[in-house]
Amino acid sequence: MSPWKALKITKHILFWCLLLLIMAVVLFPIYWMLVTSVKEPLEYATRNPSWFPHRITFEHYREIWKEGAYRYFLNTVFVAFGSTLLSLGVAFPAAYGLARFRFPAKLDLIFLLWVLLVRMAPPVVLAIPLYTTLQSFGLLNKLTGLVIAYQIYTLPYSIWMLLRFVRDVPIEVEEAAAIDGASRLRTLTAIVFPLVGPGLVATAIFSVIMTWNEFIYALLFLRRPEVFTLPIHIAHFITEYEVLWGPLMAIGIMSSLPILILSGYVQRHLLRGFAISFK
């Protein structure tokens, strides 16, 4: 074997060792959640936890279901989909207006940059006045109140995402429709809307993921257990019970599944979706 080839093979082996090591580090915590959720307490609440479960049990899943975890599920679904729908409904016309018209005094640009600034500001900064505002509207401890508060995250995000998708629609298509006598509104609903469709879906999915996982506003604005969302329920679980890990991990898995399935659809858009988003 020539030394050149030996070097190449060594490099190849090193590369794969490194890759597998990285995958182990990345995936181990998820594996650990999975196995803990199906172990019996004797196998995790011990100084010698087992690497592989000796006996698999679905007791913890039954237990969380019996204790009414579906309620937190429904709350989370309502908040995530509610805030996403509201955002898209408001952001789509806004994105269209911003993409197609020049506003006086650079108003459009100022609006866009303000929204971006807000997107990056710490959520806790706005929490105090929002708390009193929601309180005065009677929206504290209400899921609708959280839907409105979440517009701080989802609206700026949706406007920016949709703006890029609307810009990808060639203006000639609209001009042709206008020549055929279609009104602005008709062009918007019959021509632009379907063309932006895939972009809308991607934006919606990211928005659902974002609100599904949101923590701080849910913690501050929902103080009664019957309106808890999944992250808040999990947080209470973590801080109240020291080592009740079986049910905790079972809830963790159940609450992550919908998100993992959804994220499969947006692999292609990941960068666009995340670069101006998240948390």
Partner 1 sequence: MRRFGRWRRKYSYFLFLLPALILIVFLTVYPLARVFYLSFYRYNPIRRVERFVGFANYLRLFSDRFFLTGLKNTFLFSVGATVTEVLLGLGLALMFNVKFRGRKLFLPLVIFPMMFSTMVICAIWRSMYHYDYGIFNYALRSLGFEPVKWLINKDLALWSVVLVDIWQWTPMAFLILLAGLQSIPGELYEAARVDGATGTRLFRHITLPLLRNHIFLALLLRSIDTFKIFDKVYALTGGGPGTATETISFYIYRQGFTYFNMGRASAAAVVMFLAVSAVSLIYIRQVWRGEE
Near partner 1 in 32-91, by CB under 8 A: 32-33, 36, 44-49, 90-91
**Per rule CB under 8 A, is residue 24 in the interface with partner 1?**
no
Q: Pick the binder of partner 1 from 77, 85, 126, 182 (CB under 8 A).
A: 126
**Tokens 């955002």 appear where?**
87
Query: Looking at 57-65, 171-179, 197-205, 258-266, which segment touches partner 1 (CB under 8 A)?
Result: 258-266
Q: Please tell me the distance from the alpha carbon of residue 29 to that of residue 40, in angstroms, as a whole number.
A: 18
Q: Please tell me the distance from the alpha carbon of residue 221 to that of residue 14, in angstroms, as a whole number.
A: 51
**Per rule CB under 8 A, is residue 127 in the interface with partner 1?**
yes
Angle between helical axes of 3-38 and 245-265 (0-180°, round to 10) = 120
Q: Which two tokens stand for residue 23?
A: 């995958």
- DSSP SS3 for 156: helix
Q: Please tell me the distance from the alpha carbon of residue 25 to that of residue 134, in angstroms, as a whole number.
A: 43
Query: Looking at 138-146, 172-180, 194-202, 248-256, which segment touches partner 1 (CB under 8 A)?
Result: 248-256
Q: Pick the binder of partner 1 from 2, 129, 180, 224 (CB under 8 A).
A: 129
Nearer to partner 1, 58 or 114 (CB): 114
Query: Looking at 61-69, 153-161, 175-183, 196-204, which segment touches partner 1 (CB under 8 A)?
Result: 153-161
Site for partner 1 in 130-149 (CB under 8 A): 130-133, 148-149
Q: Pick the binder of partner 1 from 1, 26, 105, 179 (CB under 8 A).
A: 26
Q: Please tell me the distance from the alpha carbon of residue 33 to that of residue 70, in angstroms, as a whole number.
A: 20
57: left (phi over 0), alpha (psi -120 to 50) or beta: beta
Binding residues for partner 1, rule CB under 8 A, total: 93
Q: Please tell me the distance from the alpha carbon of residue 184 to that of residue 83, in angstroms, as a whole number.
A: 27
Nearer to partner 1, 1 or 275 (CB): 275
Q: Pick the binder of partner 1 from 8, 238, 265, 268 (CB under 8 A).
A: 238
Asked whether the beta carbons of 118 and 156 are under 8 A apart, the reply is yes
Query: Looking at 60-68, 95-103, 170-178, 191-199, which segment touches partner 1 (CB under 8 A)?
Result: 95-103
Closest CA to 141 of 219, 235, 231, 73: 219
Q: Pick the binder of partner 1 from 79, 80, 152, 169 (CB under 8 A).
A: 152
Site for partner 1 in 189-218 (CB under 8 A): 209, 212-213, 215-216
Q: Please tell me the distance from the alpha carbon of residue 117 to that of residue 106, in angstroms, as a whole number.
A: 17
